[in-house]
């Protein structure tokens, strides 16, 4: 009778919100202190577990996994993509490729095609590792924004505040073709961190610069443009670069540059950690990107795809005295290029992009805030980039409404970029879809797989 009476009283009637508290109250009346304490511990543990589980289910997005449903993608149209890539191999447009499509955090298409090395006839595998070159830039930008979130700097701080070698910005004035000597004039403004991350600093790009004068100036100064197997640090290289002239006044134009290489060194200085270590501990390990490295561990060497070029209609290993193609597996392994040095897999890079689609979080690991992602995707370059179809943010090219309407590029807000050795990616936050096409070619190739793949991925949406 006593229990029934107590249960009938409102103060003892359990509710959804306070049931555990009422159980504890009842235990204080009917149970011995030792048993009551044990029960309290069990109830507290269960309560914490339930709260934690609810928090994870509400706020955590799981790691990429293979889809068990179609995720709103047409199986028939995905087969068209498969056929297109097989045809590109047979027609010798490309020697090999790995393609990956993910939607809603699920991999709906992940296939390998052709050869990873044509000389040895090694078949391409889905876990093949590719030199991603300029796809490194978005990862470096992410590292910069991690430090920005920690209040280490402001975007419009002059870079000379942290790297004093950049304190006297100079613009190229005259150039002597006979010996590559030149004169300069002082810049009115100093280079800021925002200029570097948006390619508006005026810094050049050496070997791949569109202006032959800068190619010669960088070569004479022995600046490393992207990657090397030599025993040199990024700090040594950037200090050389800081002494060279600019294309134009900082902030005036979009000029693709080594600005992200500068920022890789900047990350070292501000964080107090080697750049490769910072990326490993703050991005790669938390996201499970175990196949993304500047220099591959020995056990991964055999997964690196060869760079191929077409000679007399046949695919052969690419050779060029300007390049050290084997840098991911040979040499001093000390140079960590923030603009072009990483190698990775299609799945690893898709994991990185999914973190962005999830507004900065993946599998319980928050890399960036949702509000920071919003800034990264904002128009940071006005009309300086993309002919109205795209603008440049703080890490990616971003499709505008005009780009969406032009067709084949994805929804407004789709972000993208690619790499020097013929790799491409895009991610559409409206459709929650990722497309990655990894190849390894150089030199003149008649390759139409990039635009076809992207166009056909969006055409395969069927929900």
- In this model, does residue 356 exceed pLDDT 90? yes
What mean pLDDT do residues 419-443 have? 97
- In this model, does residue 344 exceed pLDDT 90? yes
From residue 261, alpha-carbon distances to 31, 102, 141, 231 in Å are 68, 30, 10, 17
Mean pLDDT for the chain overall: 89
Output the pLDDT for position 34. 54
Output the pLDDT for position 324. 82
Q: Name the most confidently modeled range: 6-15, 128-137, 226-235.
A: 128-137
Output the pLDDT for position 60. 72
- Structure confidence by residue, pLDDT tens digits, 414-423: 999 999 999 9
pLDDT band of 258, cuts 50, 70, 90: very high
Output the pLDDT for position 17. 39
Output the pLDDT for position 320. 79
- Structure confidence by residue, pLDDT tens digits, 82-95: 999 999 999 999 99
pLDDT more than 70, % of the chain: 87
- In this model, does residue 202 exceed pLDDT 50? yes
pLDDT band of 392, cuts 50, 70, 90: very high
- In this model, does residue 43 exceed pLDDT 60? no
Instruction: Label the pairing between strands 106-117 and 122-123.
Output: antiparallel
Higher pLDDT, 26 or 401: 401
- In this model, does residue 442 exceed pLDDT 60? yes
pLDDT band of 39, cuts 50, 70, 90: very low
Beta bridge partners of 418: 424
Output the pLDDT for position 36. 52
Dmax over Cα atoms in the chain, in whole Å? 107
Output the pLDDT for position 30. 46
Dist CA 459 CA 77 (whole Å): 8
pLDDT band of 52, cuts 50, 70, 90: very low
From residue 292, alpha-carbon distances to 85, 266, 267, 347, 351 in Å are 25, 21, 18, 10, 11
Any idea which of 74-78, 102-106, 116-120 has the lowest mean pLDDT?
A: 116-120
Any idea which of 14-23, 139-148, 206-215, 243-252 has the lowest mean pLDDT?
A: 14-23
- Structure confidence by residue, pLDDT tens digits, 10-19: 333 333 334 4
Higher pLDDT, 245 or 46: 245
> How buried is 34 (Cβ within 10 angstroms: 0-12 exposed, 13-18 middle, 19+ buried)?
exposed
What mean pLDDT do residues 427-441 have? 98
Going by C-alpha positions, the residue among 88, 108, 110 that lies closest to residue 100 is 110
pLDDT more than 90, % of the chain: 81
- Structure confidence by residue, pLDDT tens digits, 298-328: 999 999 999 999 988 899 999 877 778 899 9
What mean pLDDT do residues 68-95 have? 97
């Amino acid at each position: 009778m006593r229990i029934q009476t107590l249960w009938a009283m409102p103060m003892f009637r359990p509710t959804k919100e306070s049931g555990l508290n009422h159980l504890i109250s009842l235990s204080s009346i009917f149970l011995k202190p030792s048993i009551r304490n044990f029960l309290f511990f069990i109830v507290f543990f269960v309560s914490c577990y339930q709260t934690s589980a609810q928090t994870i289910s509400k706020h955590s997005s799981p790691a990429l996994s293979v889809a068990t449903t179609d995720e709103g993608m047409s199986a028939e149209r995905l087969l068209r993509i498969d056929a297109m890539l097989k045809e590109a191999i047979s027609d010798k447009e490309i020697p090999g490729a790995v393609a990956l499509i993910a939607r809603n955090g699920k991999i709906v298409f992940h296939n390998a095609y052709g050869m990873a090395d044509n000389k040895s006839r090694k078949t391409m595998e889905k876990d093949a590792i590719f030199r991603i070159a300029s796809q490194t830039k978005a990862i470096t930008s992410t590292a910069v924004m991690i430090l920005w979130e920690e209040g280490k700097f402001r975007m419009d701080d002059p870079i000379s505040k942290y790297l004093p070698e950049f304190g006297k910005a100079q613009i190229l004035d005259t150039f002597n073709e006979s010996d590559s000597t030149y004169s300069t004039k002082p810049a009115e403004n100093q280079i800021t961190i925002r200029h570097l991350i948006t390619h508006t600093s005026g810094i050049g790009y050496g070997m791949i610069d569109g202006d032959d004068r800068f190619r010669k100036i960088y070569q004479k100064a022995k600046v490393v443009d992207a990657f090397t197997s030599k025993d040199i640090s990024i700090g040594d290289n950037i200090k050389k670069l800081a002494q060279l002239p600019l294309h134009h006044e900082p902030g005036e134009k979009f000029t693709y540059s080594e600005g992200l290489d500068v920022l890789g060194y900047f990350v070292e200085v501000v964080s107090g950690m080697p750049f490769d270590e910072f990326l490993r501990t703050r991005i790669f390990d938390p996201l499970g990107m175990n196949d993304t490295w500047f220099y591959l561990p020995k056990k991964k060497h055999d997964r690196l795809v060869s760079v191929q070029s077409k000679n007399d209609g046949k695919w052969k290993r690419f050779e060029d005295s300007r390049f050290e193609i084997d840098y991911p597996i040979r040499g001093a392994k000390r140079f960590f290029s923030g603009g072009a040095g990483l190698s990775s897999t299609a799945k690893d890079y898709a994991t990185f992009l999914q973190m962005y689609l999830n507004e900065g979080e993946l599998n319980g690991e928050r890399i960036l805030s949702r509000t920071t992602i919003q800034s990264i995707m904002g128009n940071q370059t006005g009309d300086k980039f993309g002919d109205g179809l795209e603008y440049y943010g703080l890490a990616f090219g971003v499709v505008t409404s005009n780009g969406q309407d032009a067709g084949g590029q994805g929804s407004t807000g789709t972000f993208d970029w690619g790499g020097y050795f013929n790799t491409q990616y895009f991610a559409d936050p409206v459709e929650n879809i990722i497309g990655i096409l990894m190849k390894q070619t150089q030199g003149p190739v008649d390759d139409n797989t990039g635009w076809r793949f992207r166009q056909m991925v969006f055409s395969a949406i069927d929900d």
